[in-house]
Amino acid sequence: MGDNLEFYIGGEWTAPADPERSRTLDVVNPATEEVCGKVAVGSAADVDLAVAAARGAFASWSRTSVADRIEVLRNVQEVYQKRSGDLGAALTEEMGAPASLANGFQVGLGAGHLAKAIEILQDFPFEERRGATLVVKEPIGVCALITPWNWPLNQIAVKVFPALATGCTMVLKPSEIAPSAGRIFAEILDAAGVPAGVFNLVHGDGPGVGAPLSSHPDVDMVSFTGSVRAGVEVAKNAAPGVKRVTQELGGKSPNIVLDDADLAANVASGVTAMMGNSGQTCSALSRMLVPRARMDEAVAAAREAVAGVTVGDPAGDVVMGPVASRAQFDKVQALIQKGIDEGAVLVAGGTGRPDGLPTGFYVKPTVFAGVTNDMAIAREEIFGPVLVIIGYDDVDHAVEIANDTEYGLAGNVAGADLDAARAVARRIRAGWVSINDGFDFGCPFGGYKKSGNGREWGEFGFHDYLETKGVLGYEPEEAAS
């Protein structure tokens, strides 16, 4: 994908503002471990320019009509479709997503969120009359959007499109590990005619760009997706400005497989889903809970499912590519070893690379059984293709285990009895709970506890970008009555 040495500020591609202090980072192809490009690391000076551009554009963009914003978003939709191949290629090269995943669900998520934003914007209630009072939803202002590398287009889309739709302006800092998707996204918005200054992009790392962006006095809100550690730092940086902060952070999500005839099939489905995107998904269902009395059946189904997960060159026809970086590889390897040391039963996988893959950050798809919920592999977010299977005695015990975590991002209940699954789903303390792997672009996505705050996706993603104003006496009392 080449180098990313310029930033998109005020409708133009610009070099770093402070060339004497500017530096670059290597972008590494995780399948080959070779450098495939460089990315410029921005500074506070670049952030100042980008925020100033966004602030300057806010007065006019915030006053555009819904019809005008829909037209712009439809233009974005058209260009996004034309550039979908470029986006998919960037994800395969820079983060190791298999081509089928990158060009399919990864790119498709961005397209789906855009279509949903357009649909919602057509009828979104920006004003509501309550007697003599008018309640108005107004754009919050300049938004700092900080996104991760694991689902680049999804995380950019769920921030940028609601911000555009509600009349906000913004500065995006995509991950420096996989920066090209962000650059292509900026090119798409530019080609679609998004007015200068409405959308701005500054590449860089957390200390160089994330910190000055989240603490900037002219930024009105920060939307962050990433680790709990980094999310806490963002919140601290933003606190002196009393700006709104929304966070989508980590997870250790439960998948409760109910005791019914579909157990083996549901276990297999859960294993396959866990290995998608090499397990690098914040909402990954990484803790599978099965009836203790049927543990042997579950283990056999899991072992068979793992055998069908092909690992290799993401440009080929495989289920799993590498994890995204050396740091991620080392972290996952250490936690797999930790599970072995803790006495968990290794059902499949383990440490080291898969056979025949001496180069690249490839991890064996790994399943542990005999896991208790106090083990590190059951409590820490591994962010790799590692599933732990935990036994439960009854449904109450399953719910207790599911909720015994500092996270609360997602969950799933798998079973043939829909009423039983619904009852269990209501008891899981998480923001996104599916039944039998249900999916909906309009469903609110976000976490309880240390998984964050605020909600993204669908109409719920609009609210964090809006302020609520009450205009009292908008209409005379006599007329209102």
- What residues act catalytically? 248, 282
Q: What whole-number distance in Å separates Cα of residue 443 and Cα of residue 2?
A: 36
- 3-state DSSP call for residue 392? strand
In this structure, the number of other CB atoms found within 10 A of the CB of residue 131 comes to: 11
Collect all residues with Cβ–Cβ distance below 8 Å to 116 and sequence separation of at least 6: 441, 442, 457, 458
Residue 479: count other Cβ atoms within 10 Å of its Cβ. 7
Burial of 394 (0-12, 13-18, 19+ CB in 10 A): exposed
d(CA 472, CA 134): 7
**Nearest partner of 405 among 255, 251, 248, judged by Cα:** 251
Helix (H, G, I), strand (E, B) or coil at 420: helix
In single-letter form, the type of residue at position 242 comes to V
Beta strand 12-14 pairing with 7-9:
antiparallel
DSSP category for residue 210 = I
CA-to-CA separations, 80 to 42, 86, 117, 278, in angstroms, rounded = 26, 10, 14, 26
- Rounded Cα gap, residues 361 and 321, in angstroms: 8
CA–CA gap between residue 405 and residue 328 (Å, rounded): 22
Count other C-beta atoms under 10 Å from residue 326's C-beta. 12
**Distance (Å, whole) CA 112 – CA 350:** 36
At residue 287, what is the residue type? R
DSSP code for 228: H
The sign of the dihedral angle between the CA atoms of 174, 175, 176, 178 is: negative
The distance between the two most distant Cα atoms of the chain, rounded to a whole number of Å, is 81
Residue 287: name the closest of 454, 447, 406, 419 by CA.
Answer: 406
Residues 267 and 247: their CA atoms lie apart, in Å, by 31
Q: How many CB atoms lie within 10 A of CB 95?
A: 32
Query: Residue 445 in 3-state DSSP?
Result: strand
Q: Residue 260, SS3? A: coil
**Pair of tokens at residue 304:** 């068979």
